[in-house]
Chains A and B, each alone.
Chain A
Amino acid sequence: MTTSAARPRQRRTIDVRNGHVEMLHGAGGRAMGDLIDTIFRPHLTNPLLDQANDQAVFGVETGRMAMTTDSFVVSPIFFPGGDIGSLAVHGTVNDLAMAGARPLHLSAGFVLEEGFAFADLERIARSMGEAARAAGVTIVTGDTKVVERGKADGIYINTAGIGMIPAGLDIGGDKARTGDRVIVSGTLGDHGVAIMSHRQGLEFETQIVSDSAALNGLVDVMIGAAPAPADVRVLRDPTRGGVAACLNEIAHQSGVGLRLEETAIPIAPQVQGACELLGLDPLNVANEGKLVAIVAAEAAEPILAAMRAHGRGRDAAIVGMVTDDPMRLVTMTTQIGGERVIDWLAGEQLPRIC
């Protein structure tokens, strides 16, 4: 005979197919527990999360830890190639990976708008679970709040993440040196253009899909292929502001110039076409599954080869080098042999893309 404590609780209050978030789902009571148990837990389940405490408690190795936080407000929440959930996982994992850290655990806080459909929420939770498992991380703690209709655009997600950095790595935005090479891991502009095209209702012969992806596996092979760990000087994922903003930040942090070759920069033809149509420069457009690496000159070829052999880096290319420039400008030799500055734009060309 089982006690009532052992019998599974009835889950009648959450109608995933047809129901919507109401204020009581954020009130900390039974309804909120039902929401978490019905929608989040099945997809995110792991031993730490399932302890169901207000915090997750775990042991850590000694060494250097990386920690990051991110908020996600992308609109539309579902787009070709991903959704706000997978984006949240990938974005957080990538921020850790850019320090060379092995991502471990994530937290996820949700702000839900009253009226948000459970079916959509479940879709997002499933997507997060898949993304986390694929990246080898666990979401160990979370939070849920509900705000009145009109006070949030459907759903906002905030994350934090931690990871451990292997010994011998010293990766940072200020580590670029004259003579180093600049590598990008693949085609540029995919994510921002996918969002923009979807919003504008544009259709192309080949659908443009967001490149949202976790890059920790790629970073591991890059570091493994480098003759010495310190050869990998800078890693950064060019999200908002695109590669242009990313490179300008690095130039300023490191006190160097950067010089690129336009013909070496990989851009998918359909993205190029869409940018022409929409009046965008792909260098200013966000990426969610790409990285920029600055590596020692002698390490460039072996690292590039390892990247191309890895699924996430098959279109990787060496696109330029680091120069001595007190002005800290990022310049580019254009397709026709002229020269231009790659500027650091003041604002975002596209609103709400991540």
Chain B
Amino acid sequence: MKYVDEFRDGQRAKSLAKAINAESDPERRYRLMEFCGGHTHAIFRYGVQDLLPANVEMIHGPGCPVCVLPIGRLDMAIRLAEREDVILASYGDMLRVPGSKGRSLQTSRAAGADIRMVYSVSDALELARANPDRQVVFFAIGFETTTPPTAVAIRAAAEAGLSNFSVYCNHVLTPAAINAILDAPEVRQIDKVEIDGFLGPSHVSVVIGSEPYVHFAEEYRKPVVIAGFEPLDVLQSILMLIRQLNEGRAEVENQYVRAVTPQGNAKAQVLVSEVFELRRSFEWRGLGEVPYSALRIKDAFAQFDAEKRFDMAEIRADGAKSCECPSVLRGAKKPTDCKLFATVCTPETPLGSCMVSDEGACAAYYTYGRFREAAE
């Protein structure tokens, strides 16, 4: 079993699609939000929506850490990178996101700032060891999947007594975001975004388990199916959601049994709680201020907190005019509803974060799905 081809098998996909078509009730709509950007990517990369009946719609959620980072926080990273003594280590996607005044980490690098692309936080630690006379700052973003490695790196730095390594922490939490979506003005009052159920994130759930989603199922009466990333996982999970909705159930089901357990990875959770604590509030692009939705580094590890070490001033900023990223992230608008989509805003010339990241809805639409709009 190679865990790749088997989960992309065309024959099995056909049977799942057949079951979805047979069991979905033509008299109703099924509006399913895939929270995670990785699922958005998979859906478009394989054309999953082509196998679904017209009354089953996928709504794209904000589960893309690059996309939800507010512009002000990016501006802070750019300002930090411009310091002479700093090497800023960042994931590739973040380099191209436009900050204020059309600047990005990439343009800053071209202008002389020392910014290095890394694949993981351990690369950043290596940079710190190899450059003892420079300050290496890791630009940490991500949901619960990437938080444990950052915790491990901070612990390792502490144990090694590394004095030139710190983390600019922008880690965010999934359940808080789902809560904000369900509580967003569109849903509660204006009722513009109707979501019937959720495809739960795969690897976040490997860490946090399936338990935390029970709250949403019960409080808001929305079924949640935790889905793996392969196209067959997505199709099977959609079928499971349709069945729950048809039967009037609102439960948490785990489709990704080969990786997710109810309790999740306890060791990872302990590691994270040793190093991080909750911020009272954090701004999210598209969701505004969300309480208890992000992490900061605990006082015990304060010397590894870049915001303290460099006395970073908070910056607040707005996105490009007419950029609909905030609505797209909430699922209130589709990328094609944005005036800038595929005209001035493209992957080469992105105006908003949704177009930069592989997992952003706009990038997925543009890269894989452009022909659909052309046909209309």
Q: Which residues of A pack against B, CB within 8 Å?
A: 200, 263, 269, 272-273, 276, 279, 327, 329, 331, 333-341, 343, 345-346
Contact of B10 among A200, A272, A337, A339 (CB under 8 A): A337
10 A-B pairs with least C-beta separation: A338-B47, A336-B13, A346-B348, A338-B50, A340-B368, A339-B47, A343-B367, A334-B46, A335-B8, A336-B231
Question: Are B10 and A340 interface neighbours, CB within 8 A?
Answer: no
Give every chain B residue within 8 A of A331 (Cβ-Cβ): 371
CB pair A337–B50 under 8 Å, yes or no, is yes
Q: A341 to B119, alpha carbons, bound, how many Å? A: 27
Asked if B51 is an interface residue, CB under 8 A from chain A, the answer is yes
The reply to whether the CB of B44 lies closer than 8 angstroms to some CB of chain A is yes
Given contacts A329-B374, A334-B47, A346-B347, contact A340 B369 (CB under 8 A): yes
Contact of B8 with A341 in the complex, beta carbons under 8 Å: no
Q: Does B370 interact with chain A (Cβ within 8 Å)?
A: yes
Q: How distant is A272 from chain B, measured CB to nearest CB, in Å?
A: 7
B372 to chain A, nearest CB (A): 8
Return chain B residues, CB-CB under 8 Å to A341.
367-371
A261–chain B nearest beta-carbon distance, Å: 11
The answer to the question of B215 belonging to the interface, with a C-beta cut-off of 8 Å to chain A, is no
Question: B13, B348, B367, B371: which contacts A337 (Cβ < 8 A)?
Answer: B13
- Inter-chain CA distance A341–B370, complex, in Å, is 7
- Contact between B10 and A335, CB atoms less than 8 A apart: yes
The answer to whether B48 touches A336 (Cβ under 8 A) is yes
Inter-subunit contact B370/A329 (CB<8 Å): yes
Cα of A81 to Cα of B370 in the assembled complex, Å: 38
* Given A337-B10, A338-B46, A341-B367; 10 other pairs, CB 8 A cutoff: A276-B4, A279-B358, A327-B371, A329-B370, A335-B8, A335-B9, A336-B8, A338-B47, A340-B44, A340-B46
Residue of B nearest to A340 (CB): B368
Cβ contacts under 8 Å, B231 to chain A: 334-336, 338
- B1-44: CB near A (< 8 Å → 1, else 0) gives 01010001110011001000000000000000000000000001
Q: How far is the CA of A336 from the CA of B2 in the complex (A)?
A: 17
**B49 lies within 8 A of chain A by Cβ:** yes
Name B's A-contacting residues (CB within 8 A). 2, 4, 8-10, 13-14, 17, 44-51, 119, 231-232, 235, 347-348, 358, 366-371, 374
Least distance between A331 CB and chain B CB atoms (Å): 6
Most buried by B among A200, A273, A331, A338: A338
Tell which of B10, B46, B49, B368 touches A343, judged by Cβ atoms closer than 8 Å: B368
Give the shortest distance, in Å, between B53 (CB) and chain A (any CB). Answer: 14
A contact residues around B17 at 8 Å (CB): 337
| Cα A329 to Cα B17 with chains together (Å) | 26
With the chains together, A273 CA to B4 CA distance in Å? Answer: 8
Cross-chain pairs A/B with CB under 8 angstroms, 9 sampled: A276-B4, A327-B371, A336-B9, A336-B47, A337-B17, A337-B50, A338-B49, A339-B47, A340-B44
Cβ 8 A contact of A327, one of B8, B9, B50, B374: B374
Task: Check if A340 sits within 8 Å of B47, measured CB to CB.
Answer: yes
Query: A334 near B4 (CB under 8 angstroms)?
Result: no
Nearest chain A residue, comparing its CB with the CB of B346? A346
Asked if A334 and B367 make an inter-chain contact with CB atoms under 8 angstroms apart, the answer reads no
Tell me whether A340 and B45 are in contact (CB under 8 A).
yes
A337 with B368: CB separation less than 8 A: no
A329 to B8, CA, bound (A): 24
Give the complex CA separation of A263 and B46 in angstroms: 12
Q: Which residue of B lies closest to A269 (CB)?
A: B2
Interface centre among B48, B231, B371 (most CB of A within 10 A): B371
A contact residues around B10 at 8 Å (CB): 263, 335-337
Q: Please, how many angstroms separate the alpha-carbon atoms of A334 and B48 in the complex?
A: 9
CB distance from B258 to the nearest CB of A (A): 16
What residue in chain B is nearest A276 (Cβ atoms)? B4
Min distance, Cβ B91 to any Cβ of chain A, angstroms? 11
Bound CA span A316–B158, Å = 54
Alpha-carbon gap, A319 to B254, bound state (A): 37
The distance in angstroms between the C-alpha atoms of A334 and B13, with both chains bound, is 11
Given contacts A329-B370, A331-B371, A346-B347, contact A337 B4 (CB under 8 A): no
Q: Which residues of A contact B9 (CB under 8 A)?
A: 335-336
Q: Find the B residue at minimum CB distance from A351.
A: B117
- Give A292 to B21 CA distance when docked, in angstroms: 38
